[in-house]
Amino acid sequence: MILVVDMNWRKDSLGYYEFVLPIVSIVEKVEKSFVRHFSEVNRKNIERSSQIVLSGTALKDHATLQCVEEFGWIRECEKPILGICAGMQTLGLVFGASLKKSLEIGMAEINTTKENPLFSSTYRAYELHNCAIEASAKFEVLAESEKCVQAIKLKTKEIYGVLFHPEVRNKEILQRFTSLKT
């Protein structure tokens, strides 16, 4: 059972349809899922899940970046996690990385810089972000665009972040993530 964490600024927001539902419809093709807003994630939800996906948000939505303390559970979590866009930025902040201004809207070319189970080579992906991560030493960089770091992995765990939105043009990345085990 995959836990999809709704990272939008509030529960049942208008952003749910755009940033959460597309993820659900992709992962549900492989495995059942359930959604919780980030303010509702608890030990029981995490124990019930096999993998966890943190959704993206609207470009102007920085709610999760302003309450990183709510994501302390990620440090102890042993389940595979994939953070998308705001989800990646939040993961970065949880593990001590910093953010820098970087705007990308639309399709961009992504270059894989390190072999990993989610993607390979060069591909195009949909971007919607106005800040990017400056990876700390705890992360390895898996991919970059011309502008910034596009994918990271925590060195010690199956915790991944992608800045682009795989649910738009790279569904296979989400499907491969669903097969990762701890």
Partner 1 sequence: MKLGVLFSGGKDSTLALHKAVVKEEVACLITLISKNPESYMFHTPNISITKLQAKALNLPLVAKNTEGKQDGELMDLKKAIAQAKRKFEIEGVVSGAVESVYQAERIQKICYDLDLWCFNPLWKRDQLELLKEIVESGFNVIISGVFAYPLDEKWLGKEINRKVIGDLMSLAKDYGISPSGEGGEIETTVLDAPLFRKRLEVLSFSIESKGNSGVFSITRARLAEK
Name the site residues for partner 1 (rule: CB under 8 A).
Answer: 12-15, 17-18, 21-22, 25, 58-61, 103, 105-107, 126, 128, 130, 167-169
Task: Confirm if 69 and 90 have CB atoms less than 8 A apart.
Answer: no
Phi, psi of 10 (to 5 degrees): -150, 165
- Nearest distance in Å: CB 78, partner 1: 31
DSSP string, 89-137: HHHHHHTT-EEEEEEEEEEEEEEE-S--SS--SEEEEEEEEEEEEE--T
Q: Considering 104, 127, 158, 167, which one is annotated as catalytic?
A: 167
Active site annotation includes 76: no
9 vs 155: CA distance, rounded Å: 29
Active site annotation includes 85: yes
Q: Considering 77, 85, 131, 148, which one is annotated as catalytic?
A: 85
Q: Which is nearer to partner 1, 46 or 64 (CB)?
A: 64
User: In the chain, count of helices (H) and strands (E)?
Assistant: 7, 9
- Nearest distance in Å: CB 33, partner 1: 15
Q: Which is nearer to partner 1, 71 or 177 (CB)?
A: 177
Q: Which is nearer to partner 1, 27 or 77 (CB)?
A: 27
Q: Which is nearer to partner 1, 67 or 103 (CB)?
A: 103
Half-sphere exposure in the Cβ direction for 93 (13 Å, CA): 20
Active site annotation includes 167: yes
Active site residues: 85, 165, 167
